[in-house]
Amino acid sequence: MSGTTFADVLAGASVLISAGSGGVGKTTTSAAIGVAAAREGRRVVVVTIDPARRLADALGIGGDGLGNEPQRIDGPWSGELWAAMLDTRATFDDLVARHADPDQAEEILANRFYRNIADSLSGTQEYMAAEKLHALHVDPRFDLVVVDTPPTRNAFDFIEAPHTLTRFLDHRLYRLLMAPTSRVGRAVGVATSAFVRTVSRVVGAAVVEDAIGFFRAFEGLEDGFRQRAAEVADLFRDETTAFVLVTSSRRESLDEAGWFADQLGGRGIDVAALVVNRVQPRPVEGSVDRYRELTRDHPGTDLARLAEVLVDQCETADVERSRLATLAPTLREAPLVLVPMLGTDVHDLDGLVAVADLVVG
């Protein structure tokens, strides 16, 4: 392990992506990292692309909670803390409004396929998350974007989204749909295409015509989609982007973290840090034999019960330490941060400040 600290990782990052399995405190950790950065004078936005209220809950935000547009959070810091929750449809609408001309935007937004289906298509949420990251990264209001991702396996769909979009734009069927001279591309002539006739029998000709009209309405925007996808793909591998794995000390969570780290490594991405939540501190160092003797010599007494608790906690801590040791080769030079079990869940800024102190120091 090098002398690199989590504070060093945070100071050098313009994008920090928090990833890990579900239920390990990833969202709370992301929010706490945002608090720590704001306390250092950074202008940070924390965005969750996991469609849940956990980020709003961690920040103690009531009412309607967070939306797609970043909301500023006031607190005891010299910088700025903002937070947002990805809204796939709103991000798609913003994308169309920004990059299409007014007539084209009106055509897209009025399309029935777009209104009813587009934001639920496979991959749309992940690609809109990539577009949101791009928009926040180039937004001059912020110098750090912290991304709270869905559970590990789904997080890879987000990382792969730029490549998935590029493959889609290069797909032969998409090029046929977009080709002005193609029979498949003429919504009016859908009945002349055997392929389209087959699909139409399953989902209905009107749906197919709306879908073709939807894709044709994006004509001329492909280069912009490609460029932003390439920029996000490059951003994932940029030296100022830090992938932070968040896990608990449970075996399955650590295994998931190891798998994720291996997958990142296969894509040329190093883990910047590992945060392990809910770690059992070892109440005493050294052998616990004398405490075992107390339980045997004073059965049924408060002293014996206290000694039994100490032995149990020490044994749990030792098991956790041995599990963590298996991740050492994966971490390489990345710092390891151990966050002890807390007495209560974090539901307000005071709690986040306390967690920030534990994570960053």
pLDDT-based confidence at 314, cuts 50/70/90?
very high
Closest CA to 13 of 177, 114, 147, 209: 147
Asked if pLDDT for residue 198 goes beyond 70, the answer is no
Q: Which helix (H) or strand (E) holds 122?
A: none
pLDDT-based confidence at 205, cuts 50/70/90?
low
Instruction: Compute the average pLDDT of residues 281-305.
Output: 91
pLDDT digits (tens, 9 = 90+) for 64-110: 679 999 999 999 999 999 999 999 899 989 999 999 999 999 988 98
Write the class of the CATH domain 6-284+333-360: alpha beta
What residues does each domain of the chain span?
A: 6-284+333-360
Mean of the per-residue pLDDT values for the chain? 86
| Residues comprising the chain, all counted | 361
The SS3 call for residue 12 is coil
| Strand order from edge to edge, sheet including 43-48 | 71-73, 80-85, 43-48, 144-148, 15-19, 241-248, 271-279, 336-340
Asked if pLDDT for residue 181 goes beyond 50, the answer is no
pTM of the model: 0.85
- What angle, rounded to 10 degrees, do the helices at 152-170 and 251-266 form? 30
